[in-house]
Chains A and B, each alone.
Chain A
Amino acid sequence: MDEKDREILQMLQGRFPLDSEPYTKIGDKLWMDEVSVISRIARMIENGTIRYVGPFFDSRKLGYTGCLAAINVPEAEIEKAAEVINQFAEVTHNYQRKGEPNIWFTVIASSEARREEIFSQIKSETGVKEILKFPAKKLFKVKVDLD
């Protein structure tokens, strides 16, 4: 990744032009032609730096209810627990972390009832005693904007 890639990424993260020719617009700002902009983005998608270019929705505004949750499982059962948790399309993020609890995941469900259904299924299929739930109270920031 070179300086030009970083400049493109910065624009993609913060200021995607809502224009009929967005990549030309990005190129104009960065002194590049559209073909180079597109081929650089394509390369960053291919090598995994970029995983998506498009709109990000506010799940709450769409009537969805999100929740961060955590469980603790023995090291040897992490893979199995991950499989149980990941089976739900509503689970968007799932990480193994150092410490206790060691599995942290997010659920975005279309209703609270559905959310609880997912939690209780995870509980029974993994055999954990409890799921710690951390629903958001106040959002200060959600934005990955790195250089």
Chain B
Amino acid sequence: MDEKTRELLRELQNGFKLETRPFLRIANKLGYSENQVLQTIKDCIEEGIIRRIGAAVRPEKMGHSCNALVVWQVAADKIDEVGNDAAGYREISHCYERECPPNWPYNFFTMIHAKTDEELKEIIQQIAQKHELSNYKVYATEQELKKTSMRYFPEESDGNDK
């Protein structure tokens, strides 16, 4: 990635301004045309550097106040089946197979956002029953201690990392 692209992506991660032509502002600031900015974003999506464009929301502000990390023990040959099914739930935002430390049997992680305790339990039970998972653990969210977006493309390390 060249320095000009890095500079643009660094600018974009400040978030889009709420104005008629947010990309034009960025283009003018960095000496691009508006089209070049849009094209670069599209290219980065194509290359997978950008996963998606859009909003980050706070689930608890949307009435999803019963949030829990649920960790499951899933056999290796069932991971894809369970993973794809869990990913289909709107209430599940994060869904990963993870490497585990010794003495930790739970290799599948789901972050569930429900509106009520009942709903949370229902989702957990549905998944458990459907895939015959009996060994899992619920870590209810007690308190958010930090939530930010990562700042990529730091200026001081220009050219050093890839």
Contacts and interface: CB of A to CB of B under 8 A. Distances in A.
Q: Do A and B come from one complex?
A: yes
Interface of A: 1, 9, 12-16, 18-24, 34, 38, 41-42, 45, 47-59, 61-64, 68, 82, 85-86, 89-99, 102-105, 108, 110-111, 132-147
Given A49-B57, A82-B145, A95-B142, A142 B94 contact: yes
A138 B97 contact: yes
Interface string B54-72: 1111110110100011000
25 contacts: A14-B52, A18-B41, A20-B23, A21-B21, A22-B16, A38-B19, A51-B56, A52-B56, A55-B9, A55-B41, A57-B9, A68-B96, A82-B146, A95-B145, A99-B137, A99-B138, A102-B142, A103-B145, A134-B109, A136-B96, A137-B98, A138-B79, A144-B57, A144-B59, A146-B59
A99 B139 CA distance: 6
B24 interface: yes
A61 B55 contact: no
Contacts of A138: 79, 83, 96-97
A68 B150 contact: no
Contacts of B145: 82, 85-86, 94-96, 103, 105
Interface of B: 9, 12-16, 18-24, 34-35, 38, 41-42, 44, 47-59, 61-62, 64, 68-69, 79, 83-84, 86-87, 90-101, 104, 107, 109, 113, 137-152, 157, 161-162
Which 4 pairs show the lowest CB-CB distances between chains A and B?
A: A12-B55, A141-B87, A140-B83, A94-B146
Contacts of B68: 97
A140 B81 CA distance: 11
